[in-house]
Structure 1
Amino acid sequence: MTAIQVRTDNKLKKDAQKVLESIGLDMSSAIKLYLHQIVITQGIPFPLRTVNGFTVEQERRMIREGEEALKHGKRYRSVKAMVDDILKE
């Protein structure tokens, strides 16, 4: 066996321990499970999300779509003009 040291803030550690205890795991067992899942999945075993709750790929796609809309989308001089255009479709 080998030891792993991880630096983290006290609140995060306590919050994680509380969750793990509620499902019957200790920190060491949870970290072992996590490492096994990394090996099994050959990557991080859950989708990584940005601050907004999207995956990195979802966020990139939305940015690309926004850039395309800016280049090729309709522009309106007022909200009323936009609403009128939407309602006539």
Structure 2
Amino acid sequence: MARSSLIQIRVDDALKKDAEALFNDLGLDMPTAIRLFLKQSLLHNGIPFAIVRTDDFYNDYNLQVLKKSIQQLEHGKGTTHELIEAGDE
């Protein structure tokens, strides 16, 4: 039998509660879910899911609009506006 090691982590109470509910719905307990994550990390030689920023501003559509706007400004097609701060209105 392989030796086992103890891993202790601290998480927010709500996160633990929500994760336990999810894992219970999947027929898992917390230790089994964590072991699955660790095993999948080893199989993938990294985190077993995509880790991405959720900054929606720099999506493909907005980048295309920005590029088009820059091109228009470079060709003299644009107007200058003063920046109005939210508190200045």
Sort the TM-score into its range (normalised by shorter chain). 0.5 to 0.7
Q: Is the partner of 1:50 in helix, strand or coil?
A: coil
Q: Which residue of 2 aligns with 1:82?
A: none
Q: Which has the higher helix share?
A: 1
Aligned Cα root-mean-square deviation (Å):
2.8
TM-score, normalised on structure 1?
A: 0.63
Unaligned 5+ runs, structure 1: 54-58, 79-89
- Using the TM superposition, give the Cα deviation of residue 42 of structure 1 relative to its aligned residue in structure 2, in angstroms: 0.3
- Using the TM superposition, give the Cα deviation of residue 74 of structure 1 relative to its aligned residue in structure 2, in angstroms: 1.7
Give matches, 1:30-69, under 5 Å: 30-52=33-55, 69=67
* Alpha-carbon separation, structure 2, partners of 1:10 and 1:2: 24
The structure whose Rg is larger is: 2
Amino acid at match of 2:28: L
Moved over 6 A (4+): none
TM-score, normalised on structure 2?
A: 0.63
Amino acid at match of 2:14: K
- Paired residues, number: 69
Q: Which residue of 1 aligns with 2:19?
A: 16
In the TM superposition, what whole-angstrom CA distance separates every residue of 1:33-60 from its partner, at most 9, and x where no partner exists?
A: 000011000000000021336xxxxx6x
Unaligned 5+ runs, structure 2: 80-89
In the TM superposition, what whole-angstrom CA distance separates every residue of 1:4-30 from its partner, at most 9, and x where no partner exists?
A: 001111000000001000010000000
